[in-house]
Structure 1
Amino acid sequence: MLISKNIQIEFADSTIKAIDAIHDIREGVRSASLNLYSRYGVQIQTPMVYGDDKVVVEVKIPKEIVGTFAIGPHLKGVAAYLLKQCNGRYDDYLVGKRLLSYTEIAAPDASENKFRMEDRLEAVSKFAKLLERSDEEAMDAISKILMIIKEVNQNDITSI
């Protein structure tokens, strides 16, 4: 039995959107899918566009390995394809050693998150730095953020 997971593909660099490279991403997925199917029995469907600019791919993983199957490391073949087979077109979009990021979403239509992965990580980083401070201004800001989170939890316990 196969378990389906929907994975949103984004570039690590926010100056390019996955939709801008959909053709090459599809070719990269096709290239990576052969290896994943032969090694693990994992099936990767053709990446599709959802909304205005989201690229989502459905990955079907055998039930026996779904708990231990890490999506990111196993999809690195897509990024490798883009870097090696596209004549350097994506070399300038590397962030560190990362070209793409993969985020599991509930369903393609359910992911209305307008923030790119890079923006989300920056927000977490800023909040963490705020938590390191103990001045009155920081404590006030932290209290406000926690009140918002508490309010969201009370209104919709499943949202966070």
Structure 2
Amino acid sequence: MTQIAVYPGSFDPITNGHLDIIERTTKIFDNVIVAVFHNPNKKPLFTMEERVEIIEEAVEEFDNVKVDAFEGLLTDYIKHQNAQVIVRGLRAVSDFETEFQMASMNKKLEPDVETIFMMTRNKYAYLSSSIIKEVANFGGCIEDLVPEHVIPKLMDKI
């Protein structure tokens, strides 16, 4: 059976921490879907279409990665994609409580789907899309924190 993993997130914008999780996930699962989620609680800088395009460029070297977008319940999306696993990245202990709650709810909604937590590499433990946007907004250097093609797109938005 082909193992399909879904790595959901807002990816506004994608960071090298996200790419680290994607790269490592491609070595474990046959197919990986990077699923851009519309989160009604967030005001994204990039549209869903822009985020999908940016991620597609960032992951073009991986043959087993597909980029998609979705709205609604993650468990419904997982079933629609015939996936078996949700991959979530953890940066620090503070991420765990929120991720644990989401994983528990997803398990209740879809008992056959597993959630796997993957620790990011230490060098990305402090990295988030929010902090990238904040640093860029104030003119700070974000090289080596996001894929190169993200920098001009982010600066255009700011």
TM-score of the two chains, using structure 1 as the length reference: 0.29
By percentage of residues, which structure has more helix?
A: 1
TM-score of the two chains, using structure 2 as the length reference: 0.29
**Which one has the largest radius of gyration?**
1
